[in-house]
Amino acid sequence: MSSVLSFQGVSVRRGASTILDDVSWEVEDGDRWVILGPNGAGKTTALQLASTRMHPTAGTVEILGERLGGTDVFELRPRVGLASASLAERIAPGEVVRDVVLTAAYGMTGRWREEYEGTDTEQADALLAAFDVARLADRRYGTLSEGERKRVQIARALMPDPELLLLDEPAAGLDLGGREELVGALAELAQDDASPVLVLVTHHPEEIPPGFTHALLLREGGVHAAGPLEEVMTAENLTATFGTPLEVSHDGDRWSARSAR
């Protein structure tokens, strides 16, 4: 197994705030990780580092064998897919859905006068089909529902064929049906050996797709626990991570948590 992502003693400080504090974390080839933690725990910051968009204040981050700070991030970036709310905000509402996915082949948002290969268009259409939004390919992005947009964002992140895919709260803002459909689509992705290594940030155990293998629990910028899901997803660990008494259930291939009060 080779290391896909390695944090060694990573801290991120901004002014007087310590956002991540001495975080060490290893992601291996074939892993599917979920990062869980309360608001402000540092989850998005961890993804910012993993996607080369931020450098640590202290410690080392290695991504796909390349050390941040010692490599050209513009060469590394296409190898790492990212779907996040802040990237999604850059997509113009008037952009045609197929182009939203297609332009990711060149690390761009917004189509200008580029010529795309027929194979790129075929790949964009195949990704839209894989996330069950092929029928929307000719629609304007701004006319899609939140659930449809989330699927298009993930298809876009997969377009450059990344070796590592980072998903920041992909189910945020979805209704129950939309969440379940997305969890199903992500389960298929997780269970496909050809998929990239996956790291998904969420607040809710219910959003862990079947096929995910590991969990990183973050609290106040530090690692509370990290390892295989079955070992980490205990009531004790989640209670300490979220700072409230919780019961945890594991029913078949799904997880859930509720107050133990």
Minimum separation from the CB atom of position 190 to ligand ATP (A): 21
Q: How far is CA 215 from CA 30, 75, 85, 105, 191, in A?
A: 14, 28, 22, 30, 16
Minimum separation from the CB atom of position 50 to ligand ATP (A): 12
Q: Which is nearer to ligand ATP, 43 or 214 (CB)?
A: 43
Q: Which of 6, 44, 202, 237 is the binder for ligand ATP (CB under 6 A)?
A: 44
Q: Which is nearer to ligand ATP, 45 or 153 (CB)?
A: 45
| Cα–Cα–Cα angle for 36, 38, 39, rounded to 5 degrees | 120
Minimum separation from the CB atom of position 70 to ligand ATP (A): 24
Task: Name residue 107's amino acid.
Answer: G
Is residue 199 close enough to count as binding ligand ATP by CB under 6 A?
no
Is residue 37 close enough to count as binding ligand ATP by CB under 6 A?
yes
Q: Which is nearer to ligand ATP, 41 or 157 (CB)?
A: 41
- Considering only CA atoms, which of 52, 64, 60 is closest in space to residue 22? 60
Q: Which is nearer to ligand ATP, 20 or 154 (CB)?
A: 20
Binding part of the chain for ligand ATP, among 32-40, 63-71, 94-102, 186-194 by CB under 6 A, reads: 32-40
Binding part of the chain for ligand ATP, among 41-49, 92-100, 148-156, 185-193 by CB under 6 A, reads: 41-49
Ordered DSSP codes for 126-160: HHHHHTT-GGGTTSBGGGS-HHHHHHHHHHHHHTT
Minimum separation from the CB atom of position 51 to ligand ATP (A): 13
Question: What are φ and ψ of residue 207, in 5° steps?
Answer: -95, 5
The answer to whether 60 and 68 have CB atoms below 8 angstroms apart is yes
Task: Name residue 261's amino acid.
Answer: R
Which of the 8 DSSP states describes residue 219?
E
Is residue 173 close enough to count as binding ligand ATP by CB under 6 A?
no
Nearest-angstrom CA–CA distance, 157 and 71: 22
Is residue 19 close enough to count as binding ligand ATP by CB under 6 A?
yes
Is residue 41 close enough to count as binding ligand ATP by CB under 6 A?
yes
Minimum separation from the CB atom of position 8 to ligand ATP (A): 19
Q: Which of 14, 90, 113, 261 is the binder for ligand ATP (CB under 6 A)?
A: 14
Minimum separation from the CB atom of position 43 to ligand ATP (A): 4
The neighbour count for residue 100, using CB atoms within 10 Å, is 27
Dihedral of CA atoms 20, 25, 236, 219 in degrees, nearest 10, equals 10
Nearest-angstrom CA–CA distance, 175 and 146: 9
Binding part of the chain for ligand ATP, among 42-50, 175-183, 228-236, 247-255 by CB under 6 A, reads: 42-50
Which residues contact ligand ATP (rule: CB under 6 A)? Answer: 14, 17, 19, 37, 39-45
